[in-house]
Amino acid sequence: MRPADPRLVLLLIALAGVLAFVLPGHATTLLTEALILALFALSLDLLVGHARLTSFGHAGPWALGAYLAGAMMLSWGVPLPFAVLLAGLGTAALAIPIGWLCVRTGGVTFAMLSLAFAQLGYAVVVKWNAVTGGSDGLAGIPRAGLPDVLAGREGYHLLVAVFLAAAYLVAHGFITSPLGRIVAAVRENEQRAEALGHDPRRIRLTVFVLSYFLAGIAGALYAGFAGYVSPELFFWTVSGHVLVMVILGGAGTLIGPMLGALVFFYAEHELSALTESWGLFLGLLFILVVIFAPRGLMGLVRRTS
């Protein structure tokens, strides 16, 4: 599929950012969370859509980023933008050894290996009480070092939108770069790419680390947004949800997964306001989307336009 025009995407993100000054307060809070999830889904799309490595452990980098940023702001008062970047870098650093082990495999084994690492993180966080707060998590995380304008509801929303736009530019820049083209080549035909002198494992590792870096940033922004982190962030259902967002929106399109995140988040929110058994309808909705919209929501958009 032809990628969407990046200027259009940036315009949409800017629009979502400015909406904070139009919408009532609680709607802004919702949209902030939705944008953070969009960043999370964007990071996974690099792996699932672009490298076709179906990760089922993306809760791992998300939660790790959240815990790293949370701890930095809570214990040392590291200013939020730095804490977010450092958390992303920390996650990326850990992604090197983890990715080195994971990208040797593909398909279901890759999915399960990434899942095992995320669950291992869950186990460590639950049991390592002294540092991580155990099953209670860390509460009272401040939005450290931000001027009042940015620490407030609208300000933080804008900050999230800026991070999302930057992350999108990084992801888009990556897949259109020469290296990104090689990733696509490895995805389409590993033997041929190898014959051209590229090491598939190192190429995949690059995507893996970049994807974990962005997911770590998303998690870190979530820690600042929610003000607390808990082991549930690591749990496999989180990985399942974000994967659904990516596939729902249309894997490999970058914009699709971001839209998928918004649709997923608002569908969940609206349905839960309407009926207690929202999960029932959400589940049925997924089944119908998969059967009738094979390329996700972006596929639907392309077909009608």
Partner 1 sequence: MDPLTLFTLQTLNALSLSALLFFISLGLTLIFGIMRVVNFAHGALFMLGAYVGVATQTASGSFLLSLIAAPLAAAVLGLAFERCALSRLYAREHSAFLLVTFGLALALTEAIRLIWGADARQAELPDSLSGIVFVMDEPFPIYRLLLIGAGLACALLCWAGLQRTRLGLLLRAASQNPTMTAALGNDVGRVRAAVFAMACALAALGGALAAPLLSASLGLGSNVIIDAFVIVMIGGMGSFLGTAAGSLLVGFAQTFGNYYAPELALGMTYALMIAVLVVRPGGLFGRVE
Binding footprint of partner 1 on the chain (CB under 8 A): 48, 54, 101, 104-105, 107-109, 111-113, 115-117, 119-120, 122-124, 126-127, 235-237, 240, 243-244, 247-248, 251, 276-287, 289-291, 294
Report in angstroms how near the CB of residue 174 gets to partner 1 at its nearest: 21
CB of 109 to partner 1, least distance (A): 5
Q: Which is nearer to partner 1, 228 or 278 (CB)?
A: 278
Distance CA 228, CA 235 (A): 16
CB of 228 or CB of 235, closer to partner 1: 235
CB 10 to partner 1: min, Å: 28
Residue pair 162/17 in contact by the 8 Å Cβ criterion = yes
**126 or 233: whose CB is closer to partner 1?**
126
CB of 125 to partner 1, least distance (A): 10
Specify the DSSP class assigned to residue 2.
P
Decide whether 21 or 128 has the Cβ nearer to partner 1.
128
> Of 38 and 111, which CB lies nearer to partner 1 in the complex structure?
111
Q: Which helix (H) or strand (E) holds 39?
A: helix 25-45
- Give per-residue burial for 213-250: e unless 16+ CB within 10 Å, then b: bbbbbbbbbbbbbbbebbbebbbbebbebbbbbbbbbb
Tokens matching residue 247 = 């596939």
115 versus 210: smaller Cβ distance to partner 1: 115
CA distances from 1 to 112, 263, 283 (A): 28, 21, 27
Of 62, 71, 68, 65, which is closest to residue 114 (Cα–Cα)?
Answer: 62
User: Taking the complex as a whole, how short is the minimal distance between the CB of residue 217 and partner 1, in angstroms?
Assistant: 24
Distance of alpha carbon 9 from the chain centroid: 17
Q: Which two tokens stand for residue 147?
A: 């001027």
Q: How far is the CB of 46 from partner 1 (least distance, A)?
A: 15
